[in-house]
């Protein structure tokens, strides 16, 4: 910081000295040192992590030997400073304005921050200024309007904000290239821009520019324009005719705005157009027929508008087309049979229109075709077989009415195809086995067809597959165990088929899986514990199968799991502890034999050891029986063996019945005895409590206070608690007494003597239940303070001579 201050001071001093010498008419070559000092001061504000500027030495008489510096050989003055992509950071401070012969200043692709220095406008000779791809912020300085010699100005890819200054183009008579793209600029386009009649490239895309640009007297008057990019702003209004005035125009990009009405009808009168993009607007009407004149057009997109009319049959005359996108409009009609004339076509997208008819066979001649998207139309017929012989990268024919079988792929397709979506059609004939040879395939969707086949075991060959969707394709057989050998699969959906057998244990190898859905099949067996290895799993759907057994407790460890549905299976037992399982909705569990959950009604079943099954032939020698398959000489021997089998079964049944009967009798006798004993205890208890009241002494008992601060004074004179005069009420569970506890600060309490039978049978149970009740807190509940238990009543919990202490009010 001290060095920086010194240089700034030195810089100001040098300016003063230079001015003084200039006034005195000195002939000393001070101007050379001006460039050295200016660059050193500029460097002092920078951070140079790779030491690219080490050659910049303030002791040198001239900077012309420094790296990234060029000088005019005639004058020896610095003419160019190019520091592109050196990883420099800091601010563009003072110093550069001393380079009065500078013509080119290029600081792009660094990490400069702060505002654009207004002093840059003091460099009168500057013709090219490139500050793009930095982190500059603030507003565009109005002083740039004074740069009358500027020809190239690129401020793109920064964080500039605010409106474009109205006077910025007051002196733009030399300006040929202007890019303000990818900033945060807002407001309208300044009307002074129309003075820049020499402009050939104008790019203000990817900002927040709004308003209705005046094309008729505005942009269409900039007749030297070769590139006009207003894309991805908030511009609105129509784009009227007049574009034909731009005879030199090669690129017109208006996508991502709010332009409406029809496309300019004279667009085809710009003979040099190579790129035309009207996508993501609100254009209506038909596609202008003048487009067919654009023989040099390579890129045309009008997707995501509201264009109507039939698909243009003349499109095949545009032989230079490489990219054609009409998707998400309302086009009708059929594709021309001469589509194959587009020999250079690499990208064809007509998705989400209303086009009908068949896919033209002539597309096989578009040998450069890489992407073909026909999703969401009404195409019918079969898929041209030779189409899968091309080196396609992406095929999307989903949501159509295609029939027939899936064509076999060629070796070229095996090495190129990355995405294949044939879902929502009427395809039949099975899944081609060679599909597993698509080494680069990442997305495969064949769902909602009628393929009626097994899952090819070759599916295990996929090495890069991330999405496999085979829902409702009439699949049968088992799930291949090697389906997850690649480890890259993220989505696996096999719902709505007739798959049988168990879920393979190898499913745990799908380490990248976050959606697993096997619902509506006939899968059996238990849920594999290996699913607990899928740490990224978010959705698990296994409903409507024939799965049985308990849910693996290990599934509770899946912390990322957000949704589970295991309804309508044969599952039993406890839900896993932890994770999503404690918050599952009833609909995700219902329809099982006995899952243990408070959300479900019905029995809760747990796995128990299987019952002992006796082999009736195990004692064949003793019983004279024979195992099945033994040679028999007559039918009488068969009857004898069958008779012996029935005898053994009868013996087992009778034995079980006898044991049950004896058990019932024993329990009944015990119940009678217990009732007599409880009646005796009940009478004794009543006598004891009454006698205690009369005699003034109560059997020694155990006091348990839930609050350690509660008073214990009442234990010394328990007879006062059963005084008839203290009785204040009687409820369903016993009589309530009023008592006063403590010394001078006496506390009035209510004490209940429990008299209802069959509530608590053991003291430890009573203690546990009372403590649970003591924790209950509610405005309508009176706080429970403690209880008193007598050891004479350990036999049962009937008519316990017990006190429940409450503060405040009568319970």
The length of the chain in residues reads 811
Question: Of 204, 210, 217, which is closest to residue 236 (Cα–Cα)?
Answer: 210
What does the alpha-carbon distance between residue 14 and residue 546 come to, in Å, rounded to a whole number? Answer: 90
* 3-class state of residue 667 by DSSP: helix
SS3 readout for 321-348: CCEEECCCCCCECECCCCHHHCCCCCEE
What does the alpha-carbon distance between residue 799 and residue 776 come to, in Å, rounded to a whole number? Answer: 24
Q: Are 523 and 499 in contact (CB under 8 A)?
A: yes
Residues 6+ apart with CB under 8 A from 305: 278, 279, 280, 281, 282, 283, 284, 328, 329
| Residue burial 467-500, b: 16+ Cβ < 10 Å; e: rest | bbbbbbbebeeebbeebbbbebbebbbbbbbebe
What does the alpha-carbon distance between residue 237 and residue 219 come to, in Å, rounded to a whole number? Answer: 14
- Under DSSP, the state recorded for 21 is H
Work out the end-to-end distance of the chain between its first and last CA atoms, rounded to an integer number of angstroms: 79
Question: Of 535, 598, 596, 546, which is closest to residue 569 (Cα–Cα)?
Answer: 546
C-alpha separations of 793 from 82, 725, 798 in Å: 100, 26, 8
Q: Phi and psi at residue 227, in whole multiples of 5°?
A: -135, 125
CB < 8 Å & 24+ apart, contacts of 404-408: 404/428, 404/429, 405/429, 405/430, 406/430, 406/431, 406/432, 406/435, 406/446, 406/451, 407/383, 408/432, 408/434
The β-bridge partners of 738 are 750
- Residue 753 labeled ligand binder: yes
Token duo for residue 503: 């879920």
* Dihedral sign from CA coordinates of 144, 145, 148, 151: positive
* 3-class state of residue 203 by DSSP: strand
* 3-class state of residue 596 by DSSP: strand
* 3-class state of residue 291 by DSSP: helix
What does the alpha-carbon distance between residue 127 and residue 342 come to, in Å, rounded to a whole number? Answer: 44
What does the alpha-carbon distance between residue 339 and residue 341 come to, in Å, rounded to a whole number? Answer: 5
Burial of 115 (0-12, 13-18, 19+ CB in 10 A): middle
Question: Of 556, 521, 526, 557, which is closest to residue 541 (Cα–Cα)?
Answer: 521
- Under DSSP, the state recorded for 181 is -
C-alpha separations of 544 from 158, 520, 591 in Å: 55, 5, 9
Token duo for residue 681: 């205890």
What does the alpha-carbon distance between residue 631 and residue 11 come to, in Å, rounded to a whole number? Answer: 120
Q: Are 802 and 704 in contact (CB under 8 A)?
A: no
* 3-class state of residue 360 by DSSP: coil
What does the alpha-carbon distance between residue 475 and residue 495 come to, in Å, rounded to a whole number? Answer: 10
Report residue 673 CA to chain centroid gap: 68
* 3-class state of residue 745 by DSSP: coil
Query: Annotated binding site for ATP, which residues?
Result: 753
Query: Annotated binding site, which residues?
Result: 753
């Amino acid at each position: 910081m001290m060095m920086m201050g010194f240089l700034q001071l030195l810089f100001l001093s040098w300016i003063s000295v230079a001015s003084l010498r200039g006034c005195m008419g000195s002939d000393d070559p001070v101007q050379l040192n001006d460039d050295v000092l200016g660059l050193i001061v500029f460097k002092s504000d920078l951070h140079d992590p790779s030491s690219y500027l080490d050659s910049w030495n303030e002791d040198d008489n001239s900077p012309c030997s420094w790296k990234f510096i060029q000088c005019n050989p005639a004058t020896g003055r610095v003419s160019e400073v190019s520091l592109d992509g050196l990883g420099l950071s800091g601010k563009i401070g003072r110093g550069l304005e001393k380079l009065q012969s500078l013509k080119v200043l290029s600081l792009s692709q660094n990490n400069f921050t702060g505002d654009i220095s207004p002093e840059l406008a003091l460099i009168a000779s500057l013709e090219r200024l490139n500050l793009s791809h930095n982190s500059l912020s603030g507003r565009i300085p109005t002083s740039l309007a004074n740069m009358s010699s500027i020809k190239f100005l690129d401020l793109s890819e920064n964080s500039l904000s605010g409106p474009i200054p109205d006077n910025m183009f007051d002196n733009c008579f030399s300006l040929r290239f202007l890019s303000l793209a990818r900033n945060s600029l807002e407001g309208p386009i300044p009307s002074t821009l129309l003075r820049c009649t020499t402009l050939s490239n104008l790019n203000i895309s990817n900002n927040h520019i709004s308003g209705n640009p005046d094309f008729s007297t505005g942009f269409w008057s900039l007749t030297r324009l070769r590139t006009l990019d207003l894309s991805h702003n908030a511009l609105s209004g129509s784009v009227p005719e007049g574009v034909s005035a731009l005879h030199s125009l090669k690129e017109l990009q208006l996508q991502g705005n709010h332009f409406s009405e029809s496309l300019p009808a004279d667009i085809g009168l710009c003979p040099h157009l190579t790129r035309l993009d009207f996508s993501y607007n609100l254009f209506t009407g038909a596609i202008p027929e003048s487009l067919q004149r654009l023989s040099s057009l390579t890129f045309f997109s009008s997707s995501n508008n509201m264009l109507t009319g039939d698909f243009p049959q003349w499109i095949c005359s545009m032989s230079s087309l490489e990219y054609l996108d009409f998707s998400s409009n309302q086009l009708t009609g059929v594709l021309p049979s001469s589509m194959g004339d587009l020999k250079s076509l690499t990208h064809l997208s007509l998705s989400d229109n209303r086009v009908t008819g068949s896919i033209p066979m002539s597309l096989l001649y578009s040998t450069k075709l890489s992407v073909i998207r026909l999703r969401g139309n009404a195409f019918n017929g079969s898929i041209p077989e030779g189409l899968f012989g091309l080196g396609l990268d992406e095929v999307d024919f989903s949501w159509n009415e295609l029939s027939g079988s899936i064509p076999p792929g060629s070796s070229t397709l095996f090495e190129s195809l990355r995405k294949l979506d044939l879902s929502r059609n009427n395809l039949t004939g099975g899944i081609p086995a060679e599909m597993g040879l698509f080494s680069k395939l990442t997305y495969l969707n064949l769902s909602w067809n009628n393929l009626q086949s097994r899952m090819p075991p070759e599916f295990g060959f996929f090495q890069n597959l991330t999405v496999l969707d085979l829902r409702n394709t009439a699949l049968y057989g088992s799930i291949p165990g090697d389906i997850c050998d690649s480890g890259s699969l993220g989505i696996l959906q096999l719902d709505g088929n007739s798959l049988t057998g168990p879920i393979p244990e190898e499913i745990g190898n799908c380490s990248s899986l976050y959606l697993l859905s096997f619902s509506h099949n006939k899968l059996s067996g238990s849920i594999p514990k290996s699913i607990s290895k899928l740490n990224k799993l978010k959705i698990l759907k296994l409903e409507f199968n024939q799965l049985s057994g308990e849910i693996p407790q290990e599934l509770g460890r899946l912390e990322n799991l957000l949704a589970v549905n295991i309804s309508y299976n044969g599952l039993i037992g406890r839900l896993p502890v932890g994770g999503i399982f404690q918050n599952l909705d009833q609909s995700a569990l219902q329809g099982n034999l006995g899952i243990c959950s408070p959300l479900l009604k019905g029995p809760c079943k747990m796995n128990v050891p299987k019952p002992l099954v006796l082999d009736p032939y195990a004692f064949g020698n003793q019983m004279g029986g024979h195992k099945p398959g033994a040679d028999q000489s007559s039918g009488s021997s068969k009857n004898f063996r069958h008779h012996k089998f029935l005898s053994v079964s009868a013996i087992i049944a009778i034995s079980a019945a006898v044991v049950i009967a004896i058990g019932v009798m024993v329990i009944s006798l015990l119940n009678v005895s217990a009732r007599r004993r409880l009646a005796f205890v009940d009478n004794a208890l009543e006598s004891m409590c009454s006698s205690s009241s009369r005699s003034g002494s109560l059997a020694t008992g155990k006091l348990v206070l839930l609050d350690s601060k509660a008073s214990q004074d009442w234990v010394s004179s328990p007879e006062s608690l059963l005084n008839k005069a203290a009785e204040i009420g009687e409820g369903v569970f016993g009589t309530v007494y009023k008592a006063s506890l403590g010394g001078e600060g006496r506390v009035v309490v209510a004490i209940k003597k429990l008299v209802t039978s069959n509530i608590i049978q053991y003291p430890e149970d009573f203690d546990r239940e009372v403590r649970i009740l003591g924790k209950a807190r509610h405005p309508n509940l009176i706080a429970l303070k403690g209880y008193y238990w007598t050891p004479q009543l350990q036999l049962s919990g009937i008519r316990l001579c017990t006190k429940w202490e409450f503060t405040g009010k009568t319970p």
